[in-house]
């Protein structure tokens, strides 16, 4: 992990783009300290790198609260009943025919948590309205496609 040197006792911190990191500009020279780049303090706060924030966005399994139609990437559809789970890898917005504007990109699914299907024949999308992510896809940490 990259480390950056920070100057302690700064009177001002001005972000400057340095290799994708926000680095403070010292108002005067003082004692140098070493810290992890993603924990570099700026005005008393911890600043996270964008790559660290993106690492928090993950694909996840989510159950269906009601049945929903899966639209396969290779063509065709299938009805998935309540209780099935889908592996949501990312989301996008569009007209779902419901007030919920999100579509979930699926790369695997399983029947009642027992039998899993993955690979090219499991790829497609499903309207998010009955996919139980405990919130919208962005709130659940699902990345945008």
Q: Does the pLDDT at position 101 exceed 50? A: yes
Return all residues near 48 (Cβ < 8 A) that are at least 6 apart: 38
pLDDT score recorded for residue 51: 41
pLDDT band at 114 (very low <50, low <70, confident <90, very high): confident
For residue range 35-69, list pLDDT tens digits in order: 444 444 444 544 444 444 444 568 899 999 999 99
Mean pLDDT of 10-29: 43
Average confidence score pLDDT of the chain: 73
| pLDDT surpasses 50 at 17 | no
Over residues 71-86, the mean pLDDT reads 94
Are 106 and 123 in contact by the 8 Å Cβ rule? The answer is yes
The widest CA-to-CA distance across the chain, in whole angstroms, is 66
The answer, yes or no, to whether residue 28 has pLDDT greater than 80, is no
DSSP string, 46-78: E---HHHHHHT---EEEEBSS-EEEEETTS-EE
Sketch the domain layout of the chain as residue ranges: 3-55, 60-130
């Amino acid at each position: 992990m990259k480390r950056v040197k920070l100057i302690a006792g700064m009177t001002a911190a001005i972000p400057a783009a340095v290799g994708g990191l926000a680095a403070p500009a010292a108002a005067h020279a003082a004692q140098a300290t070493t810290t992890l780049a993603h924990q570099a303090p700026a005005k008393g706060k911890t600043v996270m790198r964008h790559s660290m924030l993106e690492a928090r966005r993950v694909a996840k399994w989510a159950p269906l609260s009601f049945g929903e139609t899966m639209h396969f990437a290779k063509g065709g559809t299938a009805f998935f009943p309540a209780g099935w789970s889908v592996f949501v890898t990312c989301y996008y917005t569009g007209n779902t025919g419901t007030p919920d504007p999100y579509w979930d990109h699926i790369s695997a699914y399983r029947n009642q948590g027992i039998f899993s299907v993955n690979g090219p024949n499991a790829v497609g999308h499903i309207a998010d309205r009955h996919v139980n992510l405990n919130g919208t896809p962005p709130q659940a940490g699902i990345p945008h496609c």
